[in-house]
Amino acid sequence: MNFEFPSLPYAYDALEPHIDKLTMEIHHTKHHRAYFDKFVAAVAGTELESKTLEEIFAGISKAPVAVRNNGGGFFNHNLFWEILSPNGGGQPTGKLAEAIAAKFGSFDEFKTRFNDAAANRFGSGWAWLSVKADNSLCVCSSPNQDNPLMDVHDCQGTPILGLDVWEHAYYLKYQNRRPDYIGAFWSLVNWEKVSENYMKALK
């Protein structure tokens, strides 16, 4: 069994005041854990069990819906926790900063695009910054627990930054004010980690 449920890389209250402790605790120990457990149960005893998540997502349209929903939920949250940090915020540097400027014109313009993707995703879902097969950057959103690695996604690529916009990610603190949550998110982004993801995703 090559799947492991990750522990959070910081304390539950480390992202306060932007994301409250209780939200982090429930999000990690209940939601994320449930996706993981259900994913493991859904692939147990099948040929998917020995594949990587990336391989599974590349053929997700042929997999049972429980694998898509829970595998997505498992992977997406893994990435989400990693690109957040109590010492986050600011702007990217180096190659990623250059690529963002080249693609979107400026960091602010990129943020606007990402904010729109996150705010306009109706219902539950995620906003993404991804690297496409031609190494270009792409901002998009996906419903529910889908992600850009899935063959059902309309803008496929390798996600390097993800924002959870399910209501469970922010409702205890922000309720109906999703834009406030999205605004607070930028104070937490771990750009070092995102840069690392970017370099790994380049082909």
Between the alpha carbon of residue 99 and those of residues 41, 46, 94, 134, 166, the distances in Å are: 40, 40, 9, 13, 28
**Residue 5 touches other proteins, criterion: CB under 8 A:** no
User: What residues from 139 to 198 belong to the interface with other proteins (CB under 8 A)?
Assistant: 143-145, 166-168, 171-176
Contact 47, 8 (CB under 8 A): no
Contact 202, 131 (CB under 8 A): yes
What is the smallest separation between the CB atom of 6 and other proteins, expressed in angstroms? 18
User: What residues from 123 to 142 belong to the interface with other proteins (CB under 8 A)?
Assistant: 123-125
CA-wise closest residue to 1 among 45, 33, 38: 45
Between the alpha carbon of residue 50 and those of residues 5, 10, 64, 129, 151, the distances in Å are: 16, 30, 16, 28, 19
What is the smallest separation between the CB atom of 23 and other proteins, expressed in angstroms? 9
**Residue 202 touches other proteins, criterion: CB under 8 A:** no
What is the smallest separation between the CB atom of 168 and other proteins, expressed in angstroms? 5
**Residue 10 touches other proteins, criterion: CB under 8 A:** no
What track of x and - describes contact with other proteins for positions 63 through 82 (by CB under 8 A)? --x---x-------------
**Residue 22 touches other proteins, criterion: CB under 8 A:** yes
CA angle (51 as vertex; 50, 53 as ends), nearest 5: 130
> Which residues make up the interface to other proteins (CB under 8 A)?
20, 22, 26, 30-31, 34, 65, 69, 122-125, 143-145, 166-168, 171-176
